[in-house]
Each structure stands twice: as structure tokens, then as C-alpha cells.
A and B are shown apart, each in its own frame.
Chain A
């Protein structure tokens, strides 16, 4: 330690982080392995096989549900992080003003209710609208997902904003940059890691949702989680492992692509 003193070092932290990553990936590795399992059950090992990928591929119901999950998650996460960024800018770095606490509480409200409650409330409320307007598309699910994703996106963005250095923004303003320009050129880049974290969280949270979706969905709007929920009673097939693995690989591919594109730009 003495010969190579790093101010960033904290004893044991790297070990904990390493454990953390191993623990995070262990179940995922198991999942991927079982996707290639030849046995009919999810609990025994019957050698390598692609049969679950084949059978998942032919199961249009599960493919549709997966794509729908991804679609709702992506739209809701993007909307939620845009709205959350705006809200975070509005509620931080200011002297307390009337309504600030209200805004803070309102934005975090979706967090405080068990899913089932929001689910039932939305069922009653949206049904009226569905009957009244005759529209029963994906809009309801997207609205519901956006709403409960906002606090998840908001908190990391706000945390980031809260202890962001104001000097640069002031300097820009002193140099007669318009507020928009200051935001684009200074605030946004500084805020970016927070937004990215918020976006990721929102997407993950949307993918996870079962109960609210179950109550809000209309005909032909099963997502992967509600599809699985329906299967629990009758036994879940390893098809699900295959579908998740494919989904995972696809996501990793997209993320990697984005990662390299954004790297090139810098």
C-alpha cells in the first residue's frame, strides 16, 4: 500500500464489488445454461440442446409478449426519464418555495403504493375511459408504466443534480450563453450519468411489472411477466429460459452497439 498509495483505495471495497458482480451474474449464468437444457423439466440437466429456442421461436404468443414488454419498457423509460429530468431541474438547487414539498411528494407517490392497489385503481379508472372512448390500445399500459417509472428515474437524477457544481453554469451565464445553451452544453452533459442511471432503472422497473399490467391490459396485450404469471399454475416451461436468454443477448448487443457509437463520438 505504501509503495503505491492511491487516494481512491478503500480496503475491501474491490473484493465486495467483485463478490457483488459474481453474485449478480451467477443466477443469470444458470438461466442461460438451463436455456440450453435438453431435459423437459427446469430442474434436471439432460445435456445441451437448442430445442427450447426452437419451441419458443414457434410460440408466437411468447414472442409477441416479449416484444411487447420491450416496446412498452422502452417507450415508458424514455418518457419517464425526460419528465423526471425536467422535474428534477424544477425541484433542486433552489430556495424552498411554496409547493416544492408537494411536488417532491407527488413525484414519489407511485413508489408508496403496493402495485396491487394501483392496479385495481387503474382498472376501475381506465375501464371508464376505455368504454367512453372506445380506444383500448397500448396507450394505457404506456401511461401507467411511465407514471410508476418516473420516481425511479427521478431519484438518481435528483441525487446527481443536488451536488452538482454550479460554477460552470454560472460561468456560461456570465458569458451570455442563453439558458437553453447553458443547459445543452453544460448542465446536460454533467447530468448525463444520472439520466442514464435513471433511464436504466426505469426500463428495468417497467420490464419487471406484473400486477399493474395484469389489471390494465386489454385483449391481446400480454407482456412477458403477465404471460408467465398465467403459466405459474400450469407449470412454467424452459421456453421462458430460452426467451430470456435471447432477450438478454439482444439487449447486450444493442447496448454494446450504443456504447461503441457513443464512444466514437467523444
Chain B
């Protein structure tokens, strides 16, 4: 006869098996069309570049050394790969600022949407996504129209007499930031909205009953409750921003590379696929470490249900 403990164990095993089955389709698609093929990239990072792109099947660690170190082209001295460090740092910096900016804008917006009457909430949800039914390239070009020297902002400022010459926004880091914040804003708003939408306002009421100020209510009650949404939103903005490809080209004028452009250069005109592969894996590792640290940190202090 099975003891109660064994029965419970069997039920738990059944539950876990069921859970694996549930996530199987997602895992399968990702394995086939995303993760699996990446093993190729891992292998490529240890090979020798082919003369005109692709690889030669010859083991080499050159790609990995040149991620971090560079041999000076002219005097053959080894030094830290300053160009790579600069590009990594610029990308990380811009991605962090973009995340903060979208959070600052997106949190109140999501809150506003979630506090509308139940009937109109879906409408607000659609309203916020509609601008994004045009693709990224087109949206980026639309931003360009606004910030360029002959664009709306400069024209209005000139007409008002606030400035005498157009402000050069286009082709600066500011332009990249504006563009990314614009492009990735819904990735922040939607997850926050999703977790805020069913926020229990009785808790908020209880807070006010206990003489909490509005700010205290926001910080101590609302924010902890929607933390999972904030985490999800930050991840969804940070990672694509780190890998932004189109925005630096269109709004930054392509003068300063970001990570994706650097990697693209290796797979394209640079014809150094192993280095491109090694750089990509480095990026993946950075992102994974950052992600784990962030989720662990943010998750442990969050309010957990269930």
C-alpha cells in the first residue's frame, strides 16, 4: 500500500511531467529555429576565417583572442582591444539609458491605462500598439523626419525665434536614444500594463486609510505588486536596445558602431565569420549574466503569489 507521502510524490511527478508537456511546443520551436542553430555559431568561433567569408575547417583560437586583445597592425604589439571595449561600452550605456527612459515614460502610461474603466481599457491597449503596426524601419524614418534640421522640431523652434540656427540632433547619440526609446516604448508599457491591469485597489485604499501619502502608496504598494511586469518590460527593452541595428544606422548616421553593427561587419564586409561568432557569444554571455543578476535581485525582493 502506498503511503500518503508516496501518493503525494506521484502526484507531484505527474504535475511536473504535465508541465514539461505544456512547454514542449515552445521549447521545440525555439530549439529548432533559434537555439539549436546557434551551436553552429559556437563551433564557427573556433575555426579559421575563409578567404571570402564563411569558414575554413581548421581549429583556431584567433577569433577569441581578438575579441579581447588586438595585435597592432603596424608594430605587432598586443594590447586590449580598445575599439571593441569602446563599442561594447557605448552599447551597454545607451541600452541602460533607453531602459530607464522608457520606464519613466511607460510606467505612468501603463498606470493611466490600467486605471481606465474596464470597458475602455482594451481600446487604450490598441491605441498604444497602433503606431507600432508600421514596421521598425518606417517608424525610424518617421522619427528622422521630426528631428532632422528641416524637421518639425527645428522648424517650430526657428519660427518661434527660440533658436537662430537648427539644432543638430540627427546623427548624434541623442538621436539614437530618442529613436530607441520611441521604438521600444510599447515593449515596456505592455508587460507593465498586463500585470497592473488586475491590480487590487483595495490594497491601495487600505494604504490611504493608514495615512500613507500618494508617493508612499506608489512605492510601497503599487510598485511591489507590479514588479514582475516592470522586470519583464525592462528585459524586453534592454536586450533589443543592446542589439539595435537599424537605429544607429538611420539616426546615428552609421558613424559610431553598436554591437550589432560590429558583428554584422564581421559577417559582411569584414569577412571574418569566426570573430563575428565569438563576438556574438560574448554578447550572449554578457546578456545572460546581466539577466540572471537582475532577475535574482529584482525577484527576491518582490512580492510572490502562489
Contact = CB atoms under 8 A, between A and B. Distances in A.
A and B touch in the complex (CB under 8 A): yes
Contacts, number: 328
Interface string A137-165: 00000011011101010111111101111
A143 B32 contact: yes
Nearest to A17: B112
A20 interface: yes
Interface string B161-199: 000000000000000000000100111011101110110
Contacts of A43: 145, 148, 150
Interface in A1-60: 7-14, 16-17, 19-21, 23-28, 30-31, 34, 42-43
A263 B119 CA distance: 8
Contacts of A84: 26
A97 B9 CA distance: 12
Given A69-B135, A106-B30, A17 B108 contact: yes
A207 B139 CA distance: 12
B130 A148 contact: no
B146 A166 contact: no
A248 B108 CA distance: 26
A120 to B, nearest CB: 6
Interface residues of A, number: 110
Interface class of chain B by DSSP? helix
Interface class of chain A by DSSP? helix
B157 interface: no
Nearest to B243: A114
B135 A207 contact: yes
Contacts of A252: 130, 133
B135 A224 contact: yes
B288 interface: yes
A259 B127 CA distance: 12
A240 interface: yes
A63 interface: no
A7 B137 contact: no
B128 A24 contact: yes
A116 B26 contact: no
Contacts of A177: none
B185 to A, nearest CB: 7
Contacts of A178: none
Interface in A110-131: 110-118, 120-122, 124-126
Contacts of B225: 163
B4 interface: no
Contacts of A157: 194
A235 interface: no
A147 B135 contact: no
Interface string B99-113: 000001110110111
A160 B195 contact: yes
The interface centre, meaning the residue of A89, A116, A148 with most chain B CB atoms within 10 A of its CB, is A116
Interface of A: 7-14, 16-17, 19-21, 23-28, 30-31, 34, 42-43, 69, 79, 82-84, 86-87, 89-94, 97-99, 103, 105-118, 120-122, 124-126, 143-144, 146-148, 150, 152, 154-160, 162-166, 190, 193-194, 196-198, 200-201, 203-204, 207-208, 210-211, 224-225, 228-229, 236, 240-241, 244, 247-248, 251-252, 255, 259, 262-263
20 contacts: A10-B218, A17-B109, A17-B112, A20-B106, A21-B127, A28-B142, A31-B145, A89-B19, A103-B23, A105-B288, A106-B30, A110-B35, A114-B283, A116-B245, A159-B195, A200-B125, A201-B187, A207-B136, A240-B138, A240-B141
Given A27-B143, A147-B34, 17 more contacts: A10-B111, A17-B112, A20-B189, A31-B142, A86-B25, A112-B287, A118-B37, A121-B38, A143-B29, A143-B33, A155-B191, A194-B195, A198-B194, A203-B133, A210-B136, A211-B245, A229-B137
Interface of B: 15-16, 18-23, 25-27, 29-38, 40-41, 104-106, 108-109, 111-113, 115, 119, 121-123, 125-139, 141-143, 145-146, 148, 150, 152, 182, 185-187, 189-191, 193-195, 197-198, 201, 204-205, 208, 214, 218, 225, 228-229, 231-232, 235-236, 239-240, 243, 245-246, 259-260, 263-264, 267, 273, 276-277, 280, 283-284, 287-288, 291, 303-306
